[in-house]
Structure 1
Amino acid sequence: MKEYKIDPELNEVLPKLSDADYKSLEQSLLTDGFKGAPIMVWGDIIVDGHNRYEICNKHNIPYEVKEIEFASKEEAIIWMVRQQLGRRSLTPLQRIAIVEKYKPFYKKKAKENQSKAGKNYGVGSQKLSENSTTAIQEGLENSAKVSEKIDVRAELAKDADVSTNTYSKGMKILESGNEELINETISGQKSINKAFNELKKGADTDKSETVSDSNDELKKLKEVQRKEAAQKIKEVREEYGIESPEYEDAKAEQLNVEVRINEIENAVHDTQTSDIESMLIQIQKRYHDYLLMFQQDIEWLSDKAFYCNDEEVSGKTHSELQNCLEKFKSISDVMEKMVIDEFGCISIDK
């Protein structure tokens, strides 16, 4: 049977299976044989089904191949991304990770639009004549159409079927280097919003420690070094005069202290978490804890039977409690979409 290969650049597009999923796929192929969609190839390059191909070759399991044609590697990557997005079992963070493969193409398109817009706008340099006003107007209109701005993040979020805010949070999680948090979010154990809040909370803790250290240094600068610098200027002025090099050095030393004080004050201001951000985190945490407790109470009550005039009524009661739980869960979804908008207010991200 013909051998196929995996292009390193194309392989980056395909999400890597976990060890558990790979073993599960291997066991399925060994037990049931090759089933489902064929392995898709472009020439001698695999563009879909590389794990199944690898396992089948390893155990000499017959497999089916289907060829597909692309005009370029770029076209192949776009097709591969769309294939991955078409799989319903993907979690939001998995979709975001896959859609990121599109980013170079959107950026390229945006640059092309800017370039075309610049060329079309050149019609404005034509010499004015009887018909040139119309030509300029048409050129400007065409330029506006071509130069329509491509919001790369918005396009990527749309492909991933999430809001732009959720997309940004997802990228922060993927770029955090926190493998445990990434895996929990990739698997769906945690929502993107919950994982982002945990990530932010950890960052805020680090910032809090930094702020504490900075405040100690600031206090020392203000109470000790500032006074020492002022005293030194006074002594040098009396001993050497204001025209002396010693006086200039003392003034420079005083200026350095003031610059450092200003730097620390700005840094402390930038790293402190605002009251509104703390409030948002508190709202989301308290509701999450409440929902979890309510769900546990319902599970406990569902095992109990109730009677009224010798007639069991627990079924209806349990059903109504489940309806309440579903409503609370829908509220929880809204809570997770809460963000701080550009005006510093808590709003719902749609």
Structure 2
Amino acid sequence: MQIQINDMLRAYIEPLTEAEHEALERSLLAEGCRDALVLWGDVLVDGHNRYAICQQHGIPFKVVQNERFQSMEDVMLWMIDNHLGRRSVSDFQRGVLALRKKDILAKRIEEDAARIKAEDAAITPPDSDIDAAAVPKVRTSREDIARAARLSSNTISQIEKIQKTATPELVEAVRTGTISINAAATVATLPAEEQVNAVAGGKKSLQQAAKEVREQRAASRPVKPAKPAPWEDGGEPPSQPDQPLTEVEHLRAEVAELKAKNAALRAENAELRERIDQLVDAS
């Protein structure tokens, strides 16, 4: 059989890094190709890297047919589930795969609903409602997708943001682990040119860019009014010192005040983050 390579399927899963490819090549040369390649007809579904290495070095391999595939979408869903179960897949890759699965399932729901509506229209008035029980129940909520990827709903939201607004350079940086998902989602809010410049500057530049965005957000939030001093509510004001404060004492007082404001801002920031997570989970 002449095995066919579908370029879309070959590119559907994130490629191996150079180190991963070298490790796989060493393993195949030392132990042979122990796992069979998965085919759909004559199309290669799983084992593109193993197939290429085996062809290069003349290593024998086995193939197995998957008879359950009915469409290209079935193939893609199988590939996604197969990779989600692997330990070597990073959090970002798992999130991307889970979101791809969500898109495929959501599309199927729409197609099934349209098909049922068309079938009903042939025997019932056009204005009648679609039988909800007839539409397959498929879990596509953010919580379900997060559970499938073994990630939090907040992380899934951050990956969605990265996919929508991040430049290819920033996506590659988070894919290779140069920057965390959380920080990448923050940097992705910057204009494209600034994202590219941050990536070009390396890991420290990316971290600094994320820090500056967070600081700007914190500075733009309104500060809660300070609680009135006891004497402003009718109490007795503190006794005034006989001697004016020295410069050192003034500075110490300012430092103490700034520390108090900083603590209040941190508490407010934590509260807002918790509220955001709750809103995201509820959406």
TM-score normalised according to structure 2 size:
0.58
Q: Which residue of 2 aligns with 1:338?
A: 273
More helix by share: 1
Tell me the amino acid that sits aligned with residue 73 of structure 1. Answer: M
1:349/1:172 CA distance change after superposition, 3 Å: closer
Q: Which moved more, 1:169-178 or 1:82-91?
A: 169-178
Asked whether the equivalents of residues 91 and 187 of structure 1 are also in contact (C-alpha less than 8 Å), the reply is no
1:113/1:20 CA distance change after superposition, 3 Å: same
- The answer to whether 1:112 aligns with 2:52 is no
Q: Which residue of 2 aligns with 1:90?
A: 89
Asked whether the equivalents of residues 173 and 195 of structure 1 are also in contact (C-alpha less than 8 Å), the reply is yes
Q: CA deviation at 1:109?
A: 1.6
Question: Structure 1 CA distance, aligned partners of 2:41 and 2:65?
Answer: 7
Question: Structure 2 CA distance, aligned partners of 1:94 and 1:338?
Answer: 24
Let me know the Cα RMSD of the aligned residues.
4.2
Q: Which residue of 2 aligns with 1:44?
A: 42
Cα deviations by residue, 1:277-329 (Å, 9 ceiling, x for unpaired): 42799xxxxxxxxxxxxxxxxxxxxxxxxxxxxxxxxxxxxxxxxxxxxxxxx
Q: CA deviation at 1:347?
A: 5.0
Q: Which residue of 1 aligns with 2:218?
A: 278
- SS in structure 2 opposite 1:40? strand
Cα deviations by residue, 1:83-126 (Å, 9 ceiling, x for unpaired): 11111221221012223433134223224225535865998859
Cα deviations by residue, 1:43-82 (Å, 9 ceiling, x for unpaired): 2211111101101110111223222222332222221111
1:3/1:123 CA distance change after superposition, 3 Å: closer
Q: Which residue of 2 aligns with 1:174?
A: 163
Tell me the amino acid that sits aligned with residue 145 of structure 1. Answer: A
Q: Give runs of aligned pairs for residues 181-330 of structure 1, distance below 5 A.
A: 181-188=170-177, 190-200=179-189, 202-203=190-191, 277-278=217-218
- The answer to whether 1:145 aligns with 2:133 is yes
Question: Structure 2 CA distance, aligned partners of 1:170 and 1:11?
Answer: 22
1:37/1:116 CA distance change after superposition, 3 Å: same
Tell me the amino acid that sits aligned with residue 28 of structure 1. Answer: S
Task: Give structure 1 stretches of 5+ with no counterpart.
Answer: 127-138, 207-272, 282-334
Question: Structure 1 CA distance, aligned partners of 2:18 and 2:168?
Answer: 15
Asked whether the equivalents of residues 33 and 60 of structure 2 are also in contact (C-alpha less than 8 Å), the reply is no
- The answer to whether 1:161 aligns with 2:150 is yes
Q: Which residue of 1 aligns with 2:51?
A: 53
Asked whether the equivalents of residues 36 and 64 of structure 2 are also in contact (C-alpha less than 8 Å), the reply is yes
Question: Structure 1 CA distance, aligned partners of 2:220 and 2:21?
Answer: 40
Asked whether the equivalents of residues 33 and 50 of structure 2 are also in contact (C-alpha less than 8 Å), the reply is no
- SS in structure 2 opposite 1:37? coil
Q: Which residue of 1 aligns with 2:19?
A: 20
Tell me the amino acid that sits aligned with residue 16 of structure 2. Answer: L
Q: CA deviation at 1:197?
A: 1.8
- SS in structure 2 opposite 1:62? coil
1:19/1:54 CA distance change after superposition, 3 Å: same
Question: Structure 1 CA distance, aligned partners of 2:124 and 2:4?
Answer: 53
Tell me the amino acid that sits aligned with residue 104 of structure 1. Answer: I
Question: Structure 1 CA distance, aligned partners of 2:217 and 2:147?
Answer: 27
Asked whether the equivalents of residues 13 and 81 of structure 1 are also in contact (C-alpha less than 8 Å), the reply is no
Asked whether the equivalents of residues 41 and 66 of structure 1 are also in contact (C-alpha less than 8 Å), the reply is yes
TM-score normalised according to structure 1 size:
0.48
- SS in structure 1 opposite 2:44? strand
Task: Give structure 2 stretches of 5+ with no counterpart.
Answer: 195-212, 222-269
Q: CA deviation at 1:183?
A: 3.2
Bigger Cα Rg = 1
1:125/1:275 CA distance change after superposition, 3 Å: farther
Q: CA deviation at 1:7?
A: 1.3
Asked whether the equivalents of residues 166 and 188 of structure 2 are also in contact (C-alpha less than 8 Å), the reply is no
- SS in structure 1 opposite 2:39? strand
- SS in structure 2 opposite 1:46? strand
- SS in structure 2 opposite 1:88? coil
- SS in structure 1 opposite 2:70? coil
Question: Structure 2 CA distance, aligned partners of 1:274 and 1:25?
Answer: 41
